[in-house]
């Protein structure tokens, strides 16, 4: 029965929808959409319910006919709502069907779009990889094209490696670079072999040179008898003579006289030049650059005042400032000593073995600024050996400077308090060839003693001149030293 009722209701609904007006007078327009019809029906149902509630709330006699009419309208509107709902569902199914139909080409188009986007990204990555690709060619320093066409071999120049001309040229240049590097590798191997052979040669020569001093020493020792037989000077003598060339003139005169005395008369002495040859060479160059016309006194004043003194008036005006103490004189360079010194070893002429017959050793020094020769006993600790030189000749203590020019240059300072073991003896100046006039003429002493005897004067002069002879000096030194040793 329920299904039959529903079928009848559906037929009624179709009839109501198709009529222009329903029983309540609501217009049913074909142009009205289901959603609008649903909204209007809803409003009508709400009005009916409101009216039924208002009738129930009234306590009067309920109008039965009106209530029945309202209920009937309510059912009609419910049927309308059901019909409209079905229409909406049918329309929704139709829209879904149409949507499904339209979705297929859309999905196909979307798939094509995704495929195109993927291909695009792939191509973009490939292009970026190509742009970012770093070839090894730019890192290779190739020769320029002029040198390439000038030096390239014919088998590389005539080859065709690519249809593209620029690429073909680049490949040829790369092959030429490879060819050059292979040639350089061959040259390197050849040079390494030469280097190895040279190193072996150098090692053998170094080994020979390391053993050469012993061979030269043995050769020198073996050649000594031949040199002595032929009278050839040995190496030490040659070096000594070379060093003698750097001596200042006074020391050179002493050295030459002592050496001549030894060679000519076989004197029991030995000579040696000590000091720095390098400093002596520098001193010789410095002296050569100086003006030879200026005296040594003026040169020393240049060192002190840093101004040239050409006039005598200027020189004498500056001398009072040089009257200083001994320490200031040493600091000013007045007592500057030449770098080279001459050492004289005196032996006993009565003993044949020289090593055991050594009496004393004298050291000759040259004061550059004062032009004075100083001599002293070398390696004297207590100063007793210096007594053999004091008053070796009369009135020659060595406590004062020997000539007036040196005294005037130094001033009131003397060498009596000097700590040096060497002193400026007069006989040393005579040996050095430094000529100067004595303060008092020897004729005055001779005239006081024997005024009428000319022979005594002549003998006194000859005795005075004899004081500067090497043989006399050596004899007196030996006698003094032997007497001193005898007292000890």
- Residues 293-313: tens digit of each pLDDT: 444 444 444 444 443 343 333
Q: Per-residue confidence at 250, pLDDT binned at 50, 70, 90?
A: very high
For residues 76 and 13, give the distance between their C-alpha atoms in angstroms, rounded to a whole number.
8
How long, in residues, is the chain? 488
First to last CA, the chain: 176
For residues 250 and 432, the answer to whether their CB atoms sit within 8 Å is yes
Mean pLDDT of 425-441: 81
pLDDT at 324 over 80: no
Q: Percent of the chain beyond pLDDT 90? A: 22
For residues 454 and 28, give the distance between their C-alpha atoms in angstroms, rounded to a whole number.
191
What does the pLDDT read at residue 355?
A: 60
**R_g (Cα) of the chain, nearest Å:** 69
Residues in CB range of 338: below 8 A, 6 or more apart:
247, 248, 251, 275, 280, 283, 365, 366, 368
Nearest one of 392, 414, 399, 406 to 484, comparing CA atoms: 392
For residues 63 and 411, give the distance between their C-alpha atoms in angstroms, rounded to a whole number.
169
What does the pLDDT read at residue 459?
A: 57
For residues 315 and 296, give the distance between their C-alpha atoms in angstroms, rounded to a whole number.
12
Mean pLDDT of 79-101: 88
For residues 320 and 113, give the distance between their C-alpha atoms in angstroms, rounded to a whole number.
117
Phi, psi of 286 (to 5 degrees): -65, -40
- Residues 105-140: tens digit of each pLDDT: 999 999 999 999 999 999 999 999 988 877 666 667
User: Is pLDDT larger for residue 70 or for residue 200?
Assistant: 200
What does the pLDDT read at residue 211?
A: 92
């Amino acid at each position: 029965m329920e299904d039959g009722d529903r079928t009848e209701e559906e037929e009624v609904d179709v009839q109501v929808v198709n009529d222009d007006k329903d029983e309540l007078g609501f217009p049913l327009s074909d142009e009205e959409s289901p959603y609008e019809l649903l909204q209007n029906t809803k409003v009508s149902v709400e009005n009916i319910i409101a009216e039924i509630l208002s009738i129930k709330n009234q306590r009067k006699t309920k109008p039965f006919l009106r209530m029945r009419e309202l209920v009937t309208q309510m059912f009609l509107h419910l049927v309308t709502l059901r019909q409209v709902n079905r229409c909406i569902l049918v329309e929704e199914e139709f829209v879904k069907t149409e949507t499904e139909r339209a979705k297929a080409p859309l999905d196909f188009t979307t798939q094509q779009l995704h495929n195109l986007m993927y291909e695009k990204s792939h191509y973009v990555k490939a292009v970026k990889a190509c742009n970012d690709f770093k070839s090894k060619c730019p890192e290779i320093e190739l020769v320029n094209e002029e040198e390439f066409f000038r030096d390239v071999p014919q088998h590389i120049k005539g080859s065709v490696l690519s249809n593209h001309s620029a690429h073909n040229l680049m490949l040829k240049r790369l092959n030429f670079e490879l060819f050059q590097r292979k040639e350089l590798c061959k040259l390197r191997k050849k040079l390494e072999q030469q280097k190895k052979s040279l190193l072996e040669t150098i090692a053998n020569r170094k080994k020979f040179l390391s053993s050469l001093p012993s061979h030269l020493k043995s050769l020198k020792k073996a050649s000594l008898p031949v040199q002595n037989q032929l009278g050839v000077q040995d190496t030490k003598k040659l070096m000594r003579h070379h060093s003698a060339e750097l001596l200042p003139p006074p020391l050179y005169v002493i050295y030459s006289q002592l050496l001549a005395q030894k060679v000519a008369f076989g004197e029991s002495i030995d000579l040696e030049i000590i000091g720095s040859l390098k400093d002596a060479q520098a001193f010789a160059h410095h002296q050569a650059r100086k003006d030879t016309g200026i005296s040594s006194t003026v040169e020393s004043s240049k060192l002190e005042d840093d101004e040239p003194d050409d006039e005598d008036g200027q020189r004498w005006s500056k001398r009072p400032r040089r009257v200083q103490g001994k320490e200031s004189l040493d600091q000013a360079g007045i007592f500057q000593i030449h770098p080279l010194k001459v050492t004289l070893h005196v032996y006993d002429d009565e003993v044949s073995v020289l090593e055991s017959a050594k009496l004393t050793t004298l050291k000759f020094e040259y004061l550059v600024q004062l032009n004075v020769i100083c001599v002293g006993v070398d390696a004297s600790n207590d100063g007793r050996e210096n007594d053999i030189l004091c008053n070796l000749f009369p009135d020659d203590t060595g406590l004062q400077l020997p000539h007036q020019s040196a005294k005037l240059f130094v001033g009131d300072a003397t060498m009596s308090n000097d700590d040096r073991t060497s002193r400026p003896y007069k006989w040393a100046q005579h040996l050095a060839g430094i000529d100067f006039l004595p303060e008092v003429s020897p004729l005055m002493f001779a005239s006081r003693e024997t005024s009428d005897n000319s022979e005594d004067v002549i003998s006194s002069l000859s005795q005075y001149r004899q004081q500067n002879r090497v043989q006399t000096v050596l004899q007196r030194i030996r006698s003094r030293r032997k007497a001193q040793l005898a007292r000890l």
